[in-house]
Amino acid sequence: NAGVTQTPKFQVLKTGQSMTLQCAQDMNHNSMYWYRQDPGMGLRLIYYSASEGTTDKGEVPNGYNVSRLNKREFSLRLESAAPSQTSVYFCASSEAGEAFFGPGTRLTVL
């Protein structure tokens, strides 16, 4: 039982490049989330998916897109990376009010 897994663990991009962050959970949870963590600002919600086939914007969605591929997988895509998107990205899933987080992806945009 791996919980929530994320790939890659680290990534360096140049401004304008695109990439997709992958997330999967094996707990059969309906809800999944993408957060970003920046120093001094805590974690902020980018997008969430309440169930398979649905996605909604969170607090800071600009510059991102998401896909809920199936119940297990929820991906985050940066179409044209900007230095302001340098951050640590966390995926999470939840059930019955309790959230579980992945180990994070550390992204640097030069």
Partner 1 sequence: KQEVTQIPAALSVPEGENLVLNCSFTDSAIYNLQWFRQDPGKGLTSLLLIQSSQREQTSGRLNASLDKSSGRSTLYIAASQPGDSATYLCAVERGGYNKLIFGAGTRLAVHP
Shortest distance (Å) from residue 89 CB to partner 1: 11
Size of residue set near partner 1 by CB under 8 A: 25
Write out the H or E segment, with its range, that includes residue 99. Answer: strand 98-101
Three-state secondary structure call for residue 91: strand
Interaction residues for partner 1, span 45-84 (CB under 8 A): 45, 48, 50, 56, 58
Of the candidates 3, 1, 2, 7, the residue with the CA atom closest to the CA atom of residue 104? 7
Which of 12, 27, 41, 82 touches partner 1 (CB under 8 A)? 41
Beta bridge mates, 91: 34
Q: Which residues bind partner 1 (CB under 8 A)?
A: 4, 31, 33, 35, 40-45, 48, 50, 56, 58, 90, 92, 94, 97-104
